[in-house]
Amino acid sequence: NAGVTQTPKFRVLKTGQSMTLLCAQDMNHEYMYWYRQDPGMGLRLIHYSVGEGTTAKGEVPDGYNVSRLKKQNFLLGLESAAPSQTSVYFCASSPGVGRGQETQYFGPGTRLLVL
Amino acid sequence: SQQGEEDPQALSIQEGENATMNCSYKTSINNLQWYRQNSGRGLVHLILIRSNEREKHSGRLRVTLDTSKKSSSLLITASRAADTASYFCATDAGTGRRALTFGSGTRLQVQP
């Protein structure tokens, strides 16, 4: 199993450009998450999904949109990139609710630089 | 907002020594988890402790939880150079989304 994969690994954007980050998991997990990690701030939740076709806002959703058309994929979109969105983005998944299903599995991250 | 705050922010020890990291949080939790992040990599789950548990062990790891003080500690015994990483505590409030709230992390450097 590949686990959680993220594409691309690194990207440079100009202010105002758009892009989509792709997250894929092969563990048949119900829950998927997008976090951003800034220096000294830990991880903050952007959006999450509790199942195929569902999405919800997290702690810092402004400027981002998401879609989960297939259970294994969770896409994060930036419609008009801003320098404040320069960060490392992590995708994670977890099996679902219930005891023993709380652990999250993380992808390797996407480093995004917005100029 | 950051739920958990780790202390210290950075820790440097010699191989073979024990490393202790502390985490404080603000609201009620269902469980608390510790993750490790090697430089430039994703996070890896280490251990989970539930709100009704006080202590848990996994190999060289020992985690304690004091819900009355809203705090947890992670002890790594007999540290190795390979333990060099950032360590994060993350709290699960038990809501349906199962989203974690992370602290800012402790950077551990183990000198060989």
pLDDT of residue B1: 40
pLDDT of residue B40: 85
**Contacting A residues, span 27-86, partner chain B, CB-CB under 8 Å:** 31, 33, 35, 40-45, 48, 50, 56, 58-59
* pLDDT exceeds 80 at position B4: no
List of E strands, chain A: 4-7, 10-13, 19-25, 31-38, 42-49, 56-57, 65-67, 73-78, 87-94, 105-106, 110-114
Tens of pLDDT, residues B33-89: 999 999 888 999 999 999 999 999 999 999 999 999 999 999 999 999 999 999 999
**Contacting B residues, span 47-66, partner chain A, CB-CB under 8 Å:** 48
C-alpha A20/C-alpha A8 separation (Å) is 9
pLDDT of residue B93: 82
Contacts of A107 in chain B (CB under 8 A): 42
Tens of pLDDT, residues A58-110: 999 999 999 999 999 999 999 999 999 999 999 999 997 677 778 999 999 99
Compute φ and ψ for B105, nearest 5 degrees: 95, 155
Contacts of B35 in chain A (CB under 8 A): 106
* pLDDT tier for residue B2 given thresholds of 50, 70 and 90: very low
Tens of pLDDT, residues A36-48: 999 877 899 999 9
pLDDT of residue A112: 97
